[in-house]
Amino acid sequence: MLDYVTDKQTATETDRHDEARQGEAFAPFTNDPNQYKKHFYIESYGCAMNFSDSEIVASILNGVGYGATRNAEEADLVLLNTCSIREKAEQTVRKRLSDFKRIKKTKKGLLVGVLGCMAERLKSKLLEEEKLVDIVVGPDAYRALPNLVLEAESGQKGVNVLLSRDETYADISPVRLGGNGVSAFVSIMRGCNNMCSFCVVPFTRGRERSRPANSILQECTQLFNEGYREVTLLGQNVDSYYYTADEDNPNNDSVTFAQLLEKVALISPLLRIRFSTSHPKDITDDVLHTIARYDNICNYIHLPVQSGSNRILQLMNRTYTREWYMAKVDRIRELLPGCGISADIITGFCTEEEADHQETLAIMEYAQYDYSYMFFYSERPGTLAQKRYTDDVPLNVKKRRLQEVVDMQNRLSLESNLRDIGKTFKILIEGDSKKSDADWMGRSSEGKVFVFPKAGYALQKGDYVWVKANECTQGTLLGEIVVGS
Ligand code: SAH
Ligand code: SF4
Ligand code: F3S
């Protein structure tokens, strides 16, 4: 998934889950800071869903008179939207909480809240473990936040970690925090019904549920009208999106993910659509055909493999074999020539032998991933793997294997970029390049990052332009404009 790749980063330096964007604090650029009497400061960790949730939280808090600030010292309420996916993600949050201890000492009445997956995992234990925390709110309980803040203001600690079977926050218009004004996240489903044995997400995010298609379309249309040119449809497992008519919407026909993609694509040919994440078992030919039919549905699929060994895949409960996965890659290449493909990979899962690891390297080579997000296994309390298997691969072996996977990906990313040299791509301009405001940074449909001189063309961010790739690094293609948009 490419949402956090900037022109500075390479695929392997980038980790959307808890490294690259960890702890970014955002405030909307459009808010009038004097409009609100009180202010909240929010830092988000983890996956894109969490960043998207922070925008829902911002909307809920605006509704009760709290405006966003980028400065924690100025805030009445400090919130950390947390991630539990790996131990390191939780350690980072704990460190951050200890920083806030200092601010809290000097600022009387400052409230500190923990939101997101760590809140869900640890529940009220978090209040015992982290004495300075006043509020603990799980991912399905953000509507309760205003009341919990009121309670905390009167000195009571507030916890709500109830998971829901139907909460999708469909009626809440997210307040866009930060971002580039060109691309936005739109949440289409929540929760996960898969039970990958290593994964904490089903426990922190609850059961799968899909957001009504109409509210997704409304949000995307509004974004387009505000000048956005790219939406990333988000969910833990977007391909199992399935909205059926319910009591509230008896006339709403059922909508599959492929149908939803098509509906969003029809908003405007100028609106690009990305989605994340696909579980390989759920991505259907229907979805692939829909991508092929619409130029504005990006030619890019994030298809986490996790391991290349059948034995490990089975222990992970991924429900596919390496042969099945390879056939899926073949099918993507057949129906979507040139499609960008990326993956998530875990090294050192329970009982992984050298031969299993070699199979992971081999499947990477087979799939020719453009990018990968790579991790060594981190045992999570309460998961199936923690209960059933022993975390028996020594840390140094996990790390050595991870390095080999990273080295392999570096080579594949470079080779993929080299193959693009001399070709011309339609690029959506996202803004100035990080290194120079004489250059633009943008992305191709396949998700590749391009940097190219502005060269006197009257263009702005959000415009499309044709760019020829001349040179590359492993993370970026350097090019030149060949036709104005
Ligand atoms: N729903 C998405 C991703 C969820 S978490 C999907 O199924 O693809 C993102 C990635 O974190 C996973 O794909 C996996 O590669 C990694 N991950 C999850 N649990 C992990 C663990 N316990 N240790 C190391 N990596 C993990
Ligand atoms: Fe976790 Fe698997 Fe669900 Fe992804 S599909 S969130 S890895 S359980
Ligand atoms: Fe982390 Fe929760 Fe996302 S565990 S990766 S923030 S769903």
Ligand 1 site, residue 346, Cβ cutoff 6 A: yes
Q: How confident is the model at residue 103 (pLDDT cuts 50, 70, 90)?
A: confident
Please say if the pLDDT value at position 4 is more than 50.
Answer: no
Q: Closest ligand 1 atom, CA of 198?
A: 22
Q: Ligand 2 pocket check: which of 192, 303, 313, 349 to mutate, most ligand atoms within 8 Å of Cβ?
A: 192
Per DSSP bridges, beta strands 242-243 and 66-68 are: unpaired
Exposed/middle/buried for 24, CB within 10 Å: 0-12, 13-18, 19+? middle
Q: Which ligand is nearest to the CA of 48?
A: 3
pLDDT at 108: 86
Q: What is the mean pLDDT of residues 468-479?
A: 97
Q: Ligand 3 pocket check: which of 1, 15, 17 to mutate, most ligand atoms within 8 Å of Cβ?
A: 17
Q: What is the mean pLDDT of residues 386-403?
A: 98
Please say if the pLDDT value at position 274 is more than 90.
Answer: yes
pLDDT at 2: 30
Q: Which residue lies with its CA nearest to atom 3 of ligand 3?
A: 47
Report CA(305)–ligand 2 centroid distance (Å). 11
Q: Ligand 1 pocket check: which of 199, 201, 389, 406 to mutate, most ligand atoms within 8 Å of Cβ?
A: 199
* CATH code of the domain occupying 183-418: 3.80.30.20
Q: Which ligand is nearest to the CA of 50?
A: 3
Ligand 1 site, residue 86, Cβ cutoff 6 A: yes
Report CA(348)–ligand 2 centroid distance (Å). 18
Please say if the pLDDT value at position 25 is more than 70.
Answer: no
pLDDT at 1: 32
pLDDT at 13: 30
Please say if the pLDDT value at position 271 is more than 70.
Answer: yes
Per-domain residue ranges for the chain? 8-160, 183-418, 424-481
Same fold: 8-160 with 424-481:
no
The most confident of the ranges 5-14, 67-76, 218-227 is 218-227
Range 424-481 has CATH code 3.50.50.60: no
Which CATH entry fits the domain spanning 8-160: 3.40.50.12160, 1.20.1440.230, 3.40.50.300, 2.60.40.10?
A: 3.40.50.12160
Q: Which ligand is nearest to the CA of 277?
A: 1
